[in-house]
Amino acid sequence: MKWHWFICIVLLALVGCKDDEDDTSNSISNNIRQQEIEQIVANQILPDFSEASADAQLFTSVVASFHQNPTVESLEKCRETWAQLAASWMELTPTEVGAARYTFIYSKIYGFPCNTEKIDGITSTQNTSETAINAPSDARGLATIEYLLFGNEQGEQILFLNQDFRLDYLLNTAEALEKNIEELNTFWKDDYANTFSKNEATGTSEPVSLLFNGMTISLENLKNYELGDPLGLTGSAPNYELQRAWRSNHSRLLIVKQLTGLQELFGNGNQGYAGMIRAMNLGHSESLAKQVEEAFSLTIEKANQTPDNWNAAMQTNDQSLIDLHTQLKELIRLMKSDVASHLSITITLSDADGD
């Protein structure tokens, strides 16, 4: 009987040690998760907002010069700086999470497609900065400005802008866009960055989960709306005009920039989500982190292999675009299934199969 008691005591001691080890492991993992989120916010999100804000200021100044002297050269400068600003903004699409989502500013910056009938209605009469600020989301922001700047040869586009009050609305919309981007920049920089990073909530409210879901939503939107719909792969008829940036024909530029930003958020080595996976130190942690790192690299490689002219490529169902869509499905599957499971993240999307 004494031996039975002795065995029980030993077993209880072993179980207690195991619990202590698990608690220590969980504590280390949680600390790393918070540290990585702090690093992501400080080293990626905040600098990206500062860059977008600076690009918005530059764009407004270029548009103001064009407004004063609408020439072919100044129009081209507007087009170049629009592409630069749009590309900067694409890196920030995953940050529409938590309290930032409820600022309701993101859709005002780059909701697409724009509604040309609404824009033409607004520009048929005199308009001010206040007009642009109060305009509906589909008649303002980057997509609306693309409509005003692109679509025709330079000379024809200038004539188009000189009709009615379009030239005024171009400047007013640029100023409203700059204001909105700076509002978000200030929101993150002055308060939310610290609040978000230090948030100790668990489950779907944990910063790790919020940002991860923002990343997967960005990937899903890219796959479904920027590739799938235009190519007719989601059940709708093929229509290249469903692309995000078909008027400027800069869709590839923007998508590559978006994917690069998402890759940087995921991280590599011991940084970002890759670092969180490796910190779990499970049997397949290293292989999973490496697999996703490679999947991001392959996705960007396939995006870069597509033709410059996506408008023409969409109309011929170019195989490289279909290959990119297929690779995106694989990357999304890894993120929403394998990574989410490994890091105990709940996916808040309804579609969880990566199709």
Three-state DSSP class for residue 103: coil
pLDDT of residue 149: 98
Question: H or E segment at 314?
Answer: helix 310-315
E-only strand ranges, the chain = none
Per-residue pLDDT tens over the stretch 171-202 = 999 999 999 999 999 999 998 999 999 998 88
Hey, which CATH number is domain 32-195, 1.10.443.10, 1.10.287.130, 3.30.930.10, 1.20.1420.20?
1.20.1420.20
Fold entry, domain 202-355: A middle domain of Talin 1 (1.20.1420)
Do the domains spanning 32-195 and 202-355 agree at the CATH topology level?
yes
Q: Specify the range with the lowest mean pLDDT, choosing from 14-28, 112-126, 129-143.
A: 14-28
Structure tokens at 20: 């202590």
Tokens matching residue 260: 């690069």
pLDDT in the model for residue 13: 44
- The confidence band for 351, taking pLDDT boundaries of 50, 70 and 90, is very low
Predicted local confidence at residue 331, as pLDDT: 98
List, for residues 88-121, the tens digit of each pLDDT value: 999 999 999 999 999 999 999 999 999 999 999 9
Return the pLDDT at 84: 98
Amino acid letter, 201: A
pLDDT of residue 171: 98
- Residue 29 confidence (pLDDT): 67
> What is the reported pLDDT for 349?
62
pLDDT band at 31 (very low <50, low <70, confident <90, very high): confident
Side-chain half-sphere exposure of 198, counting CA atoms within 13 A: 5
Query: Average per-residue pLDDT in the chain?
Result: 91
Q: Domain residues of the chain, as ranges? A: 32-195, 202-355
Cis peptide bond N-terminal to 70, omega within 30: no
pLDDT at residue 308 tops 50: yes
* Contact status, residue 276 vs residue 33, Cβ threshold 8 Å: yes
Return the C-alpha torsion angle 351, 302, 251, 254, nearest 10: 80
Q: Hunting for tokens 């910056």 — which residue is that?
A: 109
Q: Where are the alpha helices (DSSP H) in 124-198?
A: 129-133, 141-149, 154-162, 166-187, 193-198
pLDDT at position 17 is 43
pLDDT score, position 158: 97
122 φ, ψ to 5°? -65, -40
The number of residues in the chain equals 355
pTM for the full predicted model: 0.89
Q: What value does the mean pLDDT take over residues 52-69?
A: 98
Q: pLDDT for 65-76, tens place per residue?
A: 999 999 999 999
6 has pLDDT over 70: no
Using DSSP's 3-state secondary structure scheme, residue 123 falls into: coil
Q: What are the residues whose beta carbons fall under 8 Å from the beta carbon of 261, sequence distance 6 or more?
A: 48, 90, 91, 92, 93, 94
For 206-284, where are the alpha helices, taking DSSP H only? 207-221, 229-231, 251-266, 272-280
Residue 225: pLDDT band (50, 70, 90) is very high
